[in-house]
Structure 1
Amino acid sequence: MARDQIDMTPLQSRDELVAWFEAGIKPPSEFRIGTEHEKTPFTLEGRQPVPYEGARGIGALLEGMQLLLGWEPIMEHGNIIGLYDVTGGGAISLEPGGQFELSGAPLENVHQTQSELMAHLAQVREIATPLGIGFLGLGMTPSWSRSQIPVMPKGRYKIMTNYMPKVGQYGIDMMYRTCTVQTNLDFSSEADMVKKLRVSIALQPVATALFANSPFTEGKPNGFLSFRSEIWRDTDNARAGMLPWVFEDGMGFERWVDYALDVPMYFVKRGETYIDVAGSSFRAFFEGRNNSLPGERPTISDWANHLSTIFPEVRLKRYLEMRGADGVPWGRLPALPAFWVGLLYDNDSLDAAWELVSHWTAAERQALRDDVPRFGFKARIKDRYLFEVAKECLKLSHAGLRRRNRVDHSGRDESRHLEPLERILEAGRTPAEEMLDKFNGDWGGSVEPVYQEYAF
């Protein structure tokens, strides 16, 4: 979530950078679930991108949401760019092309995640429908070109937009044309963090296949099932990927700090101004050697902001962020936190998941990650189809959720939120393949029906 941290204490030592992560350690009784999802706004009439300005724009949508919810506005140079719930900890923010993101509050179970989602969608609909705005639940905009998409008035995005073409072919697409659903989960110790990080990186391609939902670009099949996932393979490999070093001996918070110190920065924020330092390392800044801020030392805020510009398949902050899934229609969104909670928050399932992946090599993990955007369940690792691995993971997740035994008002545990994924595995194909069948069948070679069938 792009809500920039404010803590202007200058950093003195590398130990403080490590301590920042250590502050995330929590006892299992305090483990929470944070779910973030993005959705693409479109005009109900004409199905075009929605500009920021104007009486029916994204700015007006945010102003309406602020009046409805009473949340604190997040402002930048006089523009409303997000909302923050002071009491619950949730937030609404804008991605570069106007993708509307809910960063959910830290909740205790997946039933609460579903309730939060339903409330959010009802609120958004109440404000958006009179403005003639709808929302799409896909991993990528299915019909618009890059040049059609408006730019949101956020300083950090201007800097990123200039920098992206220098480091990969798809960074602009990532920023302006993709949507994801993520879940953020806690760890109880450094060792617990390492174990969860390894399991979740290795299994991120399973989530990519289960949620693959971006087979169209500019009105035509793009040759992939998750083009969003393919985009990340060539966005900026200095800050993305499968992090093979995480699986080496000696992995811990310090190792992540050393990695992050060398990831090129995008910006430094001073007041409301973003200073473009794109391409220079945090390490140089830390040593007072940043050309734009000579002699200045970074603050805690600078560190937190920098960490939010690192984009591997799983990201460490004061929690772990699962980043491998395409955005999906609302009915499938709670399935993502359910899947990862079942695998990572139950020790037996976590152990079994580690058993499953511990003998995979870095090269095998990478090959699987490289193949999954195109082949989905038909990608292979060692001598197994990913489909088999996914079935095993879903079983483990299901068992983990049953053992957690967090029941809703009608006595059902969280495993019920896995039902959409169970249906996908029963059908034996990814959501994208189902969509391609419709495109080649009932939809008559047009992507327009997605604006009906896959809208929120």
Structure 2
Amino acid sequence: MAGVPGQANQTLIESKAQLVEYIESGNKPKEYWRVGTEHEKFGFSWSDKQALPYDGPAGIQAVLNGMGRFGWEPVSEDGHVIALKQNGASITLEPGGQFELSGAPLESIWQTCDEVNTHLTQVQEVSRELGIGFIGLGMTPNMRREDVPMMPKGRYEIMRRYMPKVGSLGLDMMFRTCTVQANLDYSSEADMVKKFRVSLALQPVATALFANSPFTDGKPNGYLSWRSHIWEDTDPDRCGVLPFVFEDGMGYERYVDYVLDVPMYFIYRDGRYIDVAGQSFRDFMNGRLPGRPGELPTMDDWEQHMTTVFPEVRLKKFLEMRGADGGPWKRLCALPALWVGLLYDQGVLDAAWDLVKDWTLEDHNRLRSDVPRLALQARIGDETIQDVSKKVLALASEGLRRRARLDYKGDDETGFLASLKHIAETGRTQADDLLDAYNTRWNGSVLPVFEEFAY
């Protein structure tokens, strides 16, 4: 979640050191490491399988209002409820009405899965009363870009105007995609760097295992993860592989320099968003932002700007894993399990680094291009990503076993990887299964996906 602008840290930024210290303040001893899980889902009308408007008796606003019965507190912008909050978690809206749970930082996958299950049960209750549904896919299977209503959040209007200037698929990213992501902690700059390198190198494995967006505008699009492909033509200034992460000198300051060089979208002043798209945060820090001479940014401006960079792994005061398509209920807990298993045990983290440390920038870029089309059949050297995924899942399982976070029956967290292990063993993603259904029992229609996969 981007947060509520204007209600956060209003300290003026007078040096780059403040920005470095901001990220460094995320350092936590291992006993305080947590995992946060975020997932987006599409709302649709059962009558026509189209996207939900914001207003109306069966719109997104009605869903937000209905969630109030469960103790969620509303957050408003210009008189519109645009988010909910409760006990460290939040529900937010993406530009096309994608409904996102941004989970609280929790100690175990058991807890985060309970949170997901509670949330989706609440959403089910409200949506059934309204005659609507929600579904987890990486891409809307049938909804045209121009038919998806935009939510009433000022930042999205600025992004909508700017996106077509820098890429051809940015509006698809905004209005027609969904993801599931996991947020994890680090203990030091060195720990952050190793986790960043391992997770960035292995994002294509997550993309392949979670591939779930083979349809666009009601027909196959030639990809298994069209959502992942979209990021290749959204905005080269803020997306893609980050070569500097693998270079000597990577650290908090190097990442700050990267974010400073990403063009801005907006600033928030006096209750409204101001369009500064394409302008420089460095100029802003020097009091040279066009139209606002002499004004300096606040830490709130920096926090908001950090949310407008979109690499596959994003650093804030924690690391965000961003490479996976949205998916079915039963697999939402698998993503945090995968990354906790890989990153929260030092021996496993070291072994994962050994797996990828010799990959070249050419290798990373090739995987970034090939995996959205080929998923598990993409290749790295003499291996397929299917081969690599089996090794990765074995390491993640070992990491979860060593954590030994047990439920009341004495089971550890490794069971949350079962669905991914099945995909890795069979070589079949959910996208493959959807395409088979489309070509056989669905008779060339994508609409049955709503009946079979709605939450």
Is the TM-score greater than 0.5? yes
1:336 aligned partner, one-letter code? L
Other structure's SS at 1:373 match:
helix
Per the TM alignment, residue 261 of structure 1 is displaced from its structure 2 partner at its CA by: 0.7
Correspondence list, 1:21-32, <5 A: 21-32=23-34
2:2 aligned partner, one-letter code? A
Other structure's SS at 1:309 match:
coil
For 2:171, the equivalent position in structure 1 comes to: 172
2:333 aligned partner, one-letter code? P
Matched, 1:346 2:345: yes
Matched, 1:231 2:230: yes
Q: Deviations over 1:412-450 (max 9, x none)?
A: 101000011011122212111111111111111111111
Other structure's SS at 1:45 match:
coil
How many residue pairs get aligned? The number is 453
Return the alpha-carbon distance in structure 2 between the equivalents of residues 231 and 409 of structure 1. Answer: 42
2:339 aligned partner, one-letter code? W
For 1:83, the equivalent position in structure 2 comes to: 84
Q: Deviations over 1:310-348 (max 9, x none)?
A: 100100000000000000011000000000100001111
Per the TM alignment, residue 262 of structure 1 is displaced from its structure 2 partner at its CA by: 0.7
For 1:269, the equivalent position in structure 2 comes to: 268
Correspondence list, 1:39-438, <5 A: 39-66=41-68, 68-85=69-86, 88-438=87-437
1:435 aligned partner, one-letter code? L
Return the alpha-carbon distance in structure 2 between the equivalents of residues 349 and 444 of structure 1. Answer: 46
Structure 1 unaligned spans of 5+:
none
For 1:2, the equivalent position in structure 2 comes to: 2
Return the alpha-carbon distance in structure 2 between the equivalents of residues 403 and 271 of structure 1. Answer: 50
1:69 aligned partner, one-letter code? F
Alpha carbons 1:341, 1:397 under 8 Å: kept: yes
Return the alpha-carbon distance in structure 1 between the equivalents of residues 437 and 213 of structure 2. Answer: 14
Return the alpha-carbon distance in structure 1 between the equivalents of residues 171 and 430 of structure 2. Answer: 25
Per the TM alignment, residue 210 of structure 1 is displaced from its structure 2 partner at its CA by: 0.2
Other structure's SS at 1:241 match:
coil
Per the TM alignment, residue 72 of structure 1 is displaced from its structure 2 partner at its CA by: 2.3
Return the alpha-carbon distance in structure 1 between the equivalents of residues 129 and 428 of structure 2. Answer: 37
Alpha carbons 1:52, 1:152 under 8 Å: kept: yes
Per the TM alignment, residue 63 of structure 1 is displaced from its structure 2 partner at its CA by: 1.0
Other structure's SS at 1:453 match:
helix
Alpha carbons 1:277, 1:292 under 8 Å: kept: no
Return the alpha-carbon distance in structure 2 between the equivalents of residues 127 and 364 of structure 1. Answer: 46
Return the alpha-carbon distance in structure 2 between the equivalents of residues 433 and 48 of structure 1. Answer: 24
Other structure's SS at 1:415 match:
helix
Alpha carbons 1:84, 1:90 under 8 Å: kept: yes
Find the partner of 2:15 among 6, 13, 16. 13
Q: Tell me how large the CA RMSD over aligned residues is.
A: 0.8
Alpha carbons 2:390, 2:425 under 8 Å: kept: no
Other structure's SS at 1:311 match:
coil
Per the TM alignment, residue 70 of structure 1 is displaced from its structure 2 partner at its CA by: 2.3
- TM-score (normalizing by structure 1): 0.98
Per the TM alignment, residue 3 of structure 1 is displaced from its structure 2 partner at its CA by: 1.9
2:58 aligned partner, one-letter code? R
Q: Deviations over 1:286-318 (max 9, x none)?
A: 111111322100000000000011100100000
Per the TM alignment, residue 253 of structure 1 is displaced from its structure 2 partner at its CA by: 0.2
Return the alpha-carbon distance in structure 2 between the equivalents of residues 418 and 383 of structure 1. Answer: 26
2:407 aligned partner, one-letter code? D
Structure 2 unaligned spans of 5+:
none
Return the alpha-carbon distance in structure 2 between the equivalents of residues 356 and 4 of structure 1. Answer: 40
Per the TM alignment, residue 2 of structure 1 is displaced from its structure 2 partner at its CA by: 2.5
Return the alpha-carbon distance in structure 2 between the equivalents of residues 56 and 429 of structure 1. Answer: 36
For 2:38, the equivalent position in structure 1 comes to: 36
Q: Deviations over 1:63-96 (max 9, x none)?
A: 1112x122221100000001011xx200000000
2:82 aligned partner, one-letter code? I
Q: Which moved more, 1:191-200 or 1:3-12?
A: 3-12
Q: Deviations over 1:33-55 (max 9, x none)?
A: 00000000001122111100112
Per the TM alignment, residue 232 of structure 1 is displaced from its structure 2 partner at its CA by: 0.3
1:16 aligned partner, one-letter code? Q
Return the alpha-carbon distance in structure 1 between the equivalents of residues 373 and 271 of structure 2. Answer: 41
2:295 aligned partner, one-letter code? E
Alpha carbons 1:4, 1:301 under 8 Å: kept: no
Alpha carbons 2:154, 2:272 under 8 Å: kept: yes
Q: Deviations over 1:7-58 (max 9, x none)?
A: 1111111110000001100000000000000000001122111100112111
Per the TM alignment, residue 154 of structure 1 is displaced from its structure 2 partner at its CA by: 0.2
Alpha carbons 1:245, 1:251 under 8 Å: kept: yes
Return the alpha-carbon distance in structure 1 between the equivalents of residues 287 and 131 of structure 2. Answer: 50
Other structure's SS at 2:387 match:
helix
